Amino acid sequence: DIVMTQSPLSLPVTPGEPASISCKSSQSLMYSNGYNYLEWYLQKPGQSPQLLIYLVSSRASGVPDRFSGSGSGTDFTLKISRVEAEDVGVYYCMQVLQIPYTFGQGTKLEIK
Amino acid sequence: QVQLQESGPGLVKPSQTLSLTCSVSGGSISNGDYYWSWIRQPAGKGLEWIGRIHTSGGTAYNPSLKSRVTISVETSSNQFSLKLGSVTAADTAVYYCARERPNSVVIPPVIEVDYWGQGTLVTVSS
């Protein structure tokens, strides 16, 4: 299985400030087509996870442009340019390159 | 708007079989190129992909659970189901049903988990 490792696990952020989450995979997530099969999900308190980003940097429908993703191979980053109160929750990276799909441990973002 | 809803016993005894059903509304489970999945989350822990079934009936399971898992679909009732046998306390978790959508913006398509149920807590205890 591909192991996904996130850091930090806890992220207190002041509203309006940027935030960054790292995700590393135990093997490359790049397919032979040159794309990396890496996604980001946000689980807001009391809710089910929701897709934020697919293929490293493509935002899902309705996701604000303050969310951006980058990276390639085994190292990936999710950035929030200016954190808002509604961004609190647990962020997960997920690899969809091979079955079984696997998730990072989650990063809990909270407002200072 | 597609909606998914899990149902089933909230308490299962050790060594017994956990059985859950996911009811799909807002669209036919047999239409389209989708996968219908189960994902679980133990309390305070991360997410674990259990397995899925395609609209065509093909299945894929997490190897760590494969010997104990069966996912099936009941098209007449627009539902799909999870059975997990020989459960232990380690199987206590919130179980989510979900839809995986292949996005053909790339080839092979990238899978997006675009709809989730609200989740149901299953506790394994005597």
Summarised one tens digit per residue, pLDDT across range A50-85 is 999 999 999 999 999 999 999 999 999 999 999 999
Closest residue in A to B60 (Cα–Cα): A99
- Which positions in chain A touch B117 (Cβ < 8 Å)? 48
Region of poorest pLDDT, from A101-105, B18-22, B40-44, B46-50: B40-44
User: What's the pLDDT at A82?
Assistant: 97
Query: Closest Cα to residue A107, out of B46, B39, B113?
Result: B46
Closest CA to A107 of A85, A84, A77: A77
List the single residue in B with minimal CA-CA distance to A106: B46
pLDDT for res A71: 98
Length of chain A: 112
Q: When comparing pLDDT for B103 and A28, which is higher? A: A28
Edge to edge, what strands does the sheet with A67-72 contain? A4-7, A19-25, A75-80, A67-72
Q: Mean of the pLDDT values across residues A25-37?
A: 96
Q: What's the mean pLDDT when you consider all of chain B? A: 95
**Mean pLDDT within B10-20:** 98
Contacts of A60 in chain B (CB under 8 A): 112, 114
pLDDT recorded at residue A100 = 97
DSSP character for A36? B
pLDDT in tens, B59-87: 999 999 999 999 999 999 999 999 999 99
Q: What is d(CA A110, CA B13) in angstroms, rounded to the nearest whole number?
A: 37
pLDDT tens column, B49-61: 999 999 888 999 9
pLDDT for A42 beyond 90:
yes
Q: What pLDDT, on a 0 to 100 scale, did the predictor assign at position B55?
A: 83
Check CB contact of B55 with chain A, cutoff 8 Å: no
CB atoms within 10 A of CB A37: 24
pLDDT at B45 over 90: no
What is the structure's pLDDT at A38? 98
Angle, CA of A65, A66 and A71, to the nearest 5° = 90
Residue A53 parent element (H or E): strand A50-54
pLDDT in tens, A3-29: 999 999 999 999 999 999 999 999 999
User: Peptide bond preceding B14: is omega within 30 degrees of 0, i.e. cis?
Assistant: no
